[in-house]
Chain A
Amino acid sequence: MGKTFAKPEALSDLHTHYCPGCTHGIIHRLIAEVIDELGIKGRTVGIAPVGCAVLVYNYLTLDFQEAAHGRAPAMATGMKRVRPDLIVFTYQGDGDLASIGMGEIIHAANRGEKFTTIFVNNAVYGMTGGQMAPTTMPGQRTTTSPFGRKVEECGMPIKMAELLSALETPGYITRQSVIKPKYIVRAKKAIKKAFQYQLEGRCFSLVEVISTCPTNWGLTPVQAIKWAEETMLPYYKLGEFKTPD
C-alpha cells in the first residue's frame, strides 16, 4: 500500500510560533496542499504581511517577500504586472487588509489584478497584542476597546468580502472558515479555486477565512471555536459572494 497522507512539500518541518488554538497553521497547510496539487511551487511567490503571520515564510518553502503593513496588494500588483507568469499571493490579516491596507486592496481588486489574497479575519490585531480591528465584533472587548466595541463610536465591523463583491470588475470573492473540519474542507476547495482563477489569468481572487485568536480573545482554544461560531459566523456569512463565471 502506498503512502496516502503526507506533509505537503511546500510546508517546512518547523514548529510554528503560533499560539495554541490559532488557525494560521491550518491555513498555511491548506495553501501548501493546494500549491503541491497544482504543481506551482517553483513559480509561486508569497507576500507576507505585518502581523503574526509575517513569519509565514518560515513555514511555506517558497520565494517570499515581506510587505509593509497593508501594502501587500500593491507589491503583488507590481510583481504581477512585470511577471504575469508568476503565481503571486498575499497573506493578510484583518488589521492589515481591512484597516491600513483598505486602499490597496480595493484598488487592486478593482483593477482586476491577477493575484490571490488569503485574508485571515480573527476580529482582532494579533501581533501587537489584541487591539480593536475594523472587524472586531460589537461589544467585543480588546485592549483598545476595554468596555467592548461601541458601534456608535466605531461603526459596525467591516464585511470585506461583501464590500469587495460590490465592485463591478469581475473577481472571485468568497468567505470561508477553518474552525471546524467541515469548514476546512470547503476552505481548501475555495483556496484551490482562487489559485486556479489566477492560473487561468481570469481575475483577482480573495478568500476571507474566519479564524480564531484565543490568546487575544482571552479564551481557551475550545471556547474560541465556540465564540467564533456563535458570534462571528452569524455576522460574517460563509459562501461565495462573487465569481467571474
Chain B
Amino acid sequence: MGKILMKGNEAIAEAAIRAGCLNYFGYPITPQSEVAEYLSRRMPEVGGVFLQGESEVAVSYMLFGASACGARVFTTSSSPGISLMGEGISYIAGAQCPAVFVNIMRGGPGLGGILPSQSDYFQATKGGGHGDYRLLVMAPASVQEAVEMIMLAFPLAEKYRNPVMLLGDGLIGQMMEPVEFPDHLNSEPTNKDEWATNGMDTRGSNKRNLVKSLFLDAGKLNEHNLMLKAKYDRMKREEIRYELYNIESDYKTLIVSYGTMSRVCKTAIDNMKDEGLEVGMVRPQTLFPFPEKAIYEAASKESCKIVVSIEMSMGQMVEDVERSVKGKLLVRWYGKCGGDVPTPEEVIEAVKSFNKGA
C-alpha cells in the first residue's frame, strides 16, 4: 500500500484497526471527534465494536470492562475528557489491564480552548488519576509517527498490562499528511488466560480470575505497589525512545522539544545553521519513560552552554529537563499556550536571547 493523504485523527483510527484493535468506546470532544466519526463507519465493516458512551467517565470503564475480559480496546479524547477518564485510568493501571488512550490535547485549564497545546504533560506523565501509577506515554510529531506509535501502543500495553497513552497536540489530530500504513499486526494479547476474566469455560479451567485493585492489608498493598513500580522501572530500561537532531554539530544551545513543537524547532535549527549558529535537539518520543540519559549526555557536550525546553505549555516538561540535566547547565523554558504554535522566527529569537544571557 502506498502513501495516502489523511487527517491525523482518521489515521489514528485506521491504525488502531490495523493494530488488531476492533473495540472502540468514545465520547465526542473537539479536536478529536473525527476518530469516533470514522470508527462509527469503519468498525461495522471490520466486525468491530463501536459505542458512543454517555460520558468520558463511563467510557474509561467500558475500556476497563472490555480489557479485563481480554479484548484489545482503545479510546480517544481531548484534555477535559482525559481529566474525566483519570479515575478509570487509575483503576485500569491498579488492576493491571492493558488499554490505549489517545489524548489530542487542547489548551486548558478548564474549558481553555480548542486549539492545539501540550499542556497535559503533567497529567499524562505525573498522574491525572489517584495513586502510584504511571502511563507509558508516547508523543508523535507527525501523522505517520502517530500511526506507527499506535501500532506499538497495543503490544506495549499488553507487555506491561498497563495503560499506554498517545499524547498528541491538536495539530497531530487535525492536520492532513501523507501516511503509509504498516502491515496489520497479527499478534493477539498474550497470556490473557492467566489474568483475564474471560470466563472459566473460555480458558477451560476451574480456576477463576479476579481483576481488582483493592488490597485492604497494608503489607499486600505495598507489595502490589512495589510490583507496579518494578514494571515502571522496566519501562525505564526498555522503552525509552527519542530522536537526536543536529547533535553532531558543536552546538552552544540544546533544545528539548516534542510533538508538533519539535518540528517547528527543526526548521528553526536549520535556519540558524544557515546563519552559522549551531543548535542541537533531543526530541523525546516517549515522555514516560523520559530520555533523561540522552538529555544529560547531550547537555554534557563541551560546546553546550544552555539547554532550552520549548513546549506549547507554560513550562511543564522543563521540570523533567532540569532533572535530567542535573544542574550541569542552566535550563530555560520558552513556549506559548493559547493555541498559537510558536513560529520558527519566535524560536530563533528565544534561543538568541537565552544565548546572550548564557
Q: Which residues of B are found within 8 Å of A82, using beta-carbon distances?
A: 23, 49, 66, 69, 71, 73
Question: Which of B23, B66, B199, B212 has the most chain A CB within a 10 Å cutoff?
Answer: B199
**In the bound complex, do residue A63 and residue B214 qualify as a contact, i.e. CB atoms below 8 Å apart?**
no
Q: Which residues of B are found within 8 Å of A74, using beta-carbon distances?
A: 53, 57-62, 64-65
* Closest chain B residue to A111, Cβ basis: B51
The docked-state distance in angstroms from the alpha carbon of A55 to that of B186 is 38
Q: When each residue 75-96 of chain A gets 1 if its CB lies under 8 Å from chain B and 0 otherwise, what string results?
A: 1111101110110000000000
Given A43-B202, A81-B23, A81-B49: A64 and B88 interface contact (C-beta under 8 Å) = no
Interface size on B, residues (CB 8 A): 39
**In the bound complex, do residue B62 and residue A66 qualify as a contact, i.e. CB atoms below 8 Å apart?**
no
The docked-state distance in angstroms from the alpha carbon of A71 to that of B211 is 15
The verdict on B63 contacting chain A, using a C-beta distance below 8 Å, is yes
The docked-state distance in angstroms from the alpha carbon of A79 to that of B23 is 11
The docked-state distance in angstroms from the alpha carbon of A93 to that of B198 is 25
**In the bound complex, do residue A78 and residue B200 qualify as a contact, i.e. CB atoms below 8 Å apart?**
no
The docked-state distance in angstroms from the alpha carbon of A96 to that of B89 is 19
The verdict on B251 contacting chain A, using a C-beta distance below 8 Å, is no
* Closest chain A residue to B209, Cβ basis: A63
Q: Which residues of B are found within 8 Å of A196, using beta-carbon distances?
A: none
* Closest chain A residue to B53, Cβ basis: A74
Q: When each residue 223-239 of chain A gets 1 if its CB lies under 8 Å from chain B and 0 otherwise, what string results?
A: 00000000000000000
* Closest chain B residue to A50, Cβ basis: B214
**In the bound complex, do residue B66 and residue A68 qualify as a contact, i.e. CB atoms below 8 Å apart?**
no
Q: When each residue 182-222 of chain B gets 1 if its CB lies under 8 Å from chain A and 0 otherwise, what string results?
A: 00000000000000011111100000111111100000000
**In the bound complex, do residue A64 and residue B211 qualify as a contact, i.e. CB atoms below 8 Å apart?**
yes
**In the bound complex, do residue B58 and residue A65 qualify as a contact, i.e. CB atoms below 8 Å apart?**
no
B residues within 8 Å of A by Cβ?
Answer: 23, 25, 49, 51, 53-55, 57-69, 71, 73, 87-88, 91, 95, 197-202, 208-214
Given A44-B199, A75-B65, A86-B198: A63 and B71 interface contact (C-beta under 8 Å) = no
The verdict on A146 contacting chain B, using a C-beta distance below 8 Å, is no
Smallest CB–CB gap between A98 and chain B, Å? 16
**In the bound complex, do residue B58 and residue A42 qualify as a contact, i.e. CB atoms below 8 Å apart?**
no
Q: When each residue 54-75 of chain A gets 1 if its CB lies under 8 Å from chain B and 0 otherwise, what string results?
A: 1001000111111110010011
Smallest CB–CB gap between B187 and chain A, Å? 17
Query: How large, as a class, is the contact surface on chain A?
Result: 20 to 34
Q: Which residues of B are found within 8 Å of A81, using beta-carbon distances?
A: 23, 25, 49, 51, 62, 66
Q: When each residue 203-245 of chain A gets 1 if its CB lies under 8 Å from chain B and 0 otherwise, what string results?
A: 0000000000000000000000000000000000000000000
Q: Which residues of A are found within 8 Å of B212, using beta-carbon distances?
A: 48, 57, 64-66
Q: Which residues of B are found within 8 Å of A76, using beta-carbon distances?
A: 65
Q: Which residues of A are found within 8 Å of B65, using beta-carbon distances?
A: 47, 65, 74-79
The verdict on A104 contacting chain B, using a C-beta distance below 8 Å, is yes
Smallest CB–CB gap between A83 and chain B, Å? 5
Q: Which of these, B55, B66, B201, B209, contacts A103 with CB under 8 Å?
A: B55
Q: Which residues of B are found within 8 Å of A41, using beta-carbon distances?
A: 200
**In the bound complex, do residue A75 and residue B199 qualify as a contact, i.e. CB atoms below 8 Å apart?**
no
* Closest chain B residue to A71, Cβ basis: B61
Given A75-B62, A77-B51, A103-B55: A61 and B208 interface contact (C-beta under 8 Å) = yes
The docked-state distance in angstroms from the alpha carbon of A45 to that of B43 is 26
The verdict on A29 contacting chain B, using a C-beta distance below 8 Å, is no
**In the bound complex, do residue A54 and residue B214 qualify as a contact, i.e. CB atoms below 8 Å apart?**
yes
Smallest CB–CB gap between A59 and chain B, Å? 12
**In the bound complex, do residue A68 and residue B87 qualify as a contact, i.e. CB atoms below 8 Å apart?**
yes
Smallest CB–CB gap between A217 and chain B, Å? 25
23 CB < 8 A contacts A-B:
A42-B200, A45-B197, A45-B199, A62-B200, A63-B208, A65-B64, A65-B65, A65-B68, A65-B197, A65-B210, A67-B61, A71-B57, A71-B58, A74-B65, A75-B62, A75-B65, A76-B65, A78-B63, A79-B66, A81-B49, A82-B66, A83-B198, A86-B198
Q: Which residues of A are found within 8 Å of B200, using beta-carbon distances?
A: 41-43, 62-63
Smallest CB–CB gap between A191 and chain B, Å? 20
Q: Which residues of B are found within 8 Å of A64, using beta-carbon distances?
A: 197, 208, 210-212
Question: Which of B49, B66, B71 has the most chain A CB within a 10 Å cutoff?
Answer: B66
Q: Which of these, B51, B53, B73, B210, contacts A63 with CB under 8 Å?
A: B210
Given A43-B199, A63-B197, A107-B54: A78 and B211 interface contact (C-beta under 8 Å) = no
Q: Which residues of A are found within 8 Å of B202, using beta-carbon distances?
A: 43
The docked-state distance in angstroms from the alpha carbon of A107 to that of B58 is 10
Q: Which residues of A are found within 8 Å of B73, using beta-carbon distances?
A: 78, 82
Q: Which of these, B23, B55, B61, B214, contacts A75 with CB under 8 Å?
A: B61
Smallest CB–CB gap between B18 and chain A, Å? 18
**In the bound complex, do residue B213 and residue A66 qualify as a contact, i.e. CB atoms below 8 Å apart?**
yes
* Closest chain B residue to A58, Cβ basis: B210
Q: Which of these, A43, A85, A103, contacts B58 with CB under 8 Å?
A: A103
**In the bound complex, do residue A104 and residue B63 qualify as a contact, i.e. CB atoms below 8 Å apart?**
no
Q: Which residues of A are found within 8 Å of B51, using beta-carbon distances?
A: 77, 81
The docked-state distance in angstroms from the alpha carbon of A103 to that of B62 is 14
Known pairs A74-B58, A82-B69 / 5 extra A-B pairs, C-beta < 8 Å: A43-B200, A43-B201, A74-B53, A74-B60, A83-B199
Smallest CB–CB gap between B349 and chain A, Å? 48
The docked-state distance in angstroms from the alpha carbon of A136 to that of B65 is 30
